[in-house]
Amino acid sequence: MPNPHREHPDYESLRPQAVALRRAGLSRRQIRDRLHVHNNDILNRLLEGVPAPDWTRRPNAKDDLRAQARELRKQGLTYDRIQVELGCSKSSISLWVRDLPKPPTRTREEASAIARRGWEATLERRDEARRRTKQAATSEIGELTERELFLIGIGLYWSEGSKSKPYRRSERVIFINSDPDMIRVYLAWLRLLGVSTERLRFHVHIHESADVGAAEQFWADLTGAAPSAFGKTTRKKHNPKTVRKNVGTDYHGCLMIRVLQCAELYRRIEGWWYGIVLGAERPA
């Protein structure tokens, strides 16, 4: 097969001249006119592997990405790894770095370690994006008015609290949840309604395989209730066939909060809820 470099009789002498002119900052057109090479294929071969001077490139939004991609390639990263790091297409990466030498072949262990580091970096960026979104959303709420807390508490109770059924009339105000923040909001709502702490009774529900004593202390500290306000803890029987995720030191079981002398309060809660439903269904 003929060598394409031999298609031009002066290739060997023109190549160093073309490289020198390119490194001196000349454009392709200037080099073409200087060397009298008017065949683009020949000119491409003469300039192969020599990057264009900065002034010949049009600035665009991807210039920073291009610079980062080239730096990562020099560090030995593959196209796949650069794509994970920068989030750009492989076709763009190829255009930016194809004049650079390929990274050396790595062992499977080395490749796995690099991939793991890259994935960890990706997860960190995602976690940071989540944190920023949550922080921004949190700042949108600000301080709640009493009416806002009042409405939130009604929805909270009707989602998680006990409700009377047509087939089982039971006008009791009982709320149970494992989320400490839900418990805090619910207790704040009860205080807003004027429910005194003397009317509250607490019961911990937890798997028997967990640290029951630590859970009881956790809920006592969170609620600030006296020990006498806590009833007997309900221990759920452990089933070894069940693979539970709610384990470890962060697992505190659920806290049930019962309001004494609550029939009238329950009726009002139910009425408030249906008032919200009617208000939401009214045309704007």
DSSP 220-241: HHHH---GGGB-PPEEEPP-TT
Q: Are residues 50 and 150 in the same domain?
A: no
Domain boundary among 57, 75, 96: 57
If one counts the domains in the chain, the total is: 2
What pLDDT score was predicted for residue 46? 85
Determine, yes or no, domain membership for 65: no
Determine, yes or no, domain membership for 96: no
Domain boundary among 29, 57, 85: 57
Secondary-structure percent of the chain, ordered helix, strand, coil, rounded to 5 = 55, 10, 35
**E strands within the chain?**
173-177, 200-207, 234-236, 254-259
Q: Is 22 helix (H, G, I), strand (E, B) or coil?
A: helix
Determine, yes or no, domain membership for 104: no
Determine, yes or no, domain membership for 74: no
Q: Which residues have a Cβ under 8 Å from the Cβ of 39 and sit 6 or more positions away?
A: 8
Determine, yes or no, domain membership for 204: yes
Q: Which residues have a Cβ under 8 Å from the Cβ of 69 and sit 6 or more positions away?
A: 82, 86, 88, 92, 93, 96, 97
Determine, yes or no, domain membership for 116: no
Q: Are residues 162 and 270 in the same domain?
A: yes
pLDDT digit string (tens) for the chain, length 284 residues: 445 444 566 778 888 888 888 888 888 888 888 888 888 888 888 888 888 776 666 555 577 888 888 998 888 888 888 888 888 888 889 888 888 888 777 777 877 776 777 778 788 888 999 999 999 999 999 999 999 999 999 999 999 999 998 888 889 999 999 999 999 999 999 999 999 999 999 999 998 888 899 999 999 999 999 999 999 999 888 776 665 566 667 889 999 999 999 999 999 999 999 999 999 887 76
Structure tokens at 183: 């418990």
Report which of 208, 218, 150 is spatially closest to residue 178, judged by C-alpha positions.
218
Q: Are residues 157 and 275 in the same domain?
A: yes
Q: Are residues 153 and 53 in the same domain?
A: no
**pTM over cut 0.85:** no
Q: Is 168 helix (H, G, I), strand (E, B) or coil?
A: strand
Determine, yes or no, domain membership for 21: yes
Domain boundary among 57, 72, 102: 57
The one-letter amino acid code at 203 reads H
User: Containing domain of residue 221, as a range?
Assistant: 146-281
Exposed, middle or buried: residue 284 (CB in 10 Å: 0-12, 13-18, 19+)? Answer: exposed
Determine, yes or no, domain membership for 73: no
Q: Are residues 150 and 276 in the same domain?
A: yes
Contact call for residues 47 and 19 (beta carbons, < 8 A): yes
200-207 sheet: strands from edge to edge: 173-177, 254-259, 200-207, 234-236
Structure-token match 């418990």, residue found: 183
